[in-house]
Amino acid sequence: MSFPVHLVESLDGVAVGARVEVSGDEAHHAVAVRRLRVGEEVVLTDGLGHRVAGEVASTGKRVFEVLVTSASLIPRPSPSFTVVQALPKGDRGELAVEVLTEVGVDTVVPWASARSVAVWKGERAAKSHAKWQATAREAGKQSRRTWLPTVTPLAATDDVVARLPSAALVVVLHEDATTALASLDVPADGEIVVIVGPEGGITPDELAAFETAGAVTVRLGSEVLRTSTAGLAAVSALLARTARWASAPT
């Protein structure tokens, strides 16, 4: 059985026997909505590898306290996975972030591609980015993650190109590619980057820039997936060939 996970700002230095206070909206939802009670077991994480379990020692309107019974620091998963996600239309961006977080992606890069229908500018950019961050946070808690993913600021194509040379593997999903994703060797460590284009597709100039920076253009199969689910399929296929999905959960 897995216990509810709650996110706190920091658990650095917390040991067995310590008491950790959870407050604010996190505590309000647990106490007022979930009806958290004294004696229940919960898990706390700071999203940076620290994980503690314990019993609820006390509750208030917007606060509860946990008596720590176990504490651990979980190593950052390797290899790491980054998905460069072209901005989808509507709420499909949040859907993409949700499923990518659930499957274990470490970094999500919102990408303003040339053919993206959605546009992030001004106040909308700040609100949209905040929604992606909130979605990653909640999905990370739901999927019991100890390391929460990072949602970077909006990236232009040049920004994406600049981060590719340091990666261990970069793949661009493209329906016309002749190389199958399944045929690639998957590195055991380093960063693996998956680039997902918009509904209208990646432009030839974008594709050329990515390939010049070391990316491999690949296809998933004969079917064409939506931009909001293609990243999930690609990352899952790659993760299945790494130690991250071969080892027992920590």
Same domain, 67 and 91: no
Within-domain flag for 66: yes
Range of the domain at 85: 80-239
Residue numbers of the chain with a pLDDT score lower than 70? 1, 247-250
Q: What is the pLDDT of residue 167?
A: 98
Q: What is the pLDDT of residue 207?
A: 97
Q: What is the pLDDT of residue 32?
A: 87
**How many folded domains does the chain comprise?**
2
Q: Which residues of 214-231 are buried (b: 16+ CB within 10 A; e: fewer)?
A: ebebbbbeeeebebbebb
Within-domain flag for 247: no
**pTM of the predicted model as reported, rounded to 2 decimal places:** 0.91
d(CA 31, CA 62): 7
Query: How many angstroms separate the Cα of 113 from the Cα of each of 21, 144, 160, 193?
Result: 43, 32, 10, 16
d(CA 217, CA 240): 20
Q: What is the pLDDT of residue 43?
A: 94
Q: Beta strand pairing status for 5-7 and 50-59?
A: unpaired
Q: What is the pLDDT of residue 158?
A: 97
Same domain, 41 and 92: no
Same domain, 40 and 104: no
Q: Beta strand pairing status for 107-111 and 150-151?
A: parallel
d(CA 116, CA 105): 22
Same domain, 96 and 29: no
| CATH at 28 | 2.40.240.20
Q: What is the pLDDT of residue 248?
A: 56
Which one of 73, 106, 127 terminates a domain?
Answer: 73
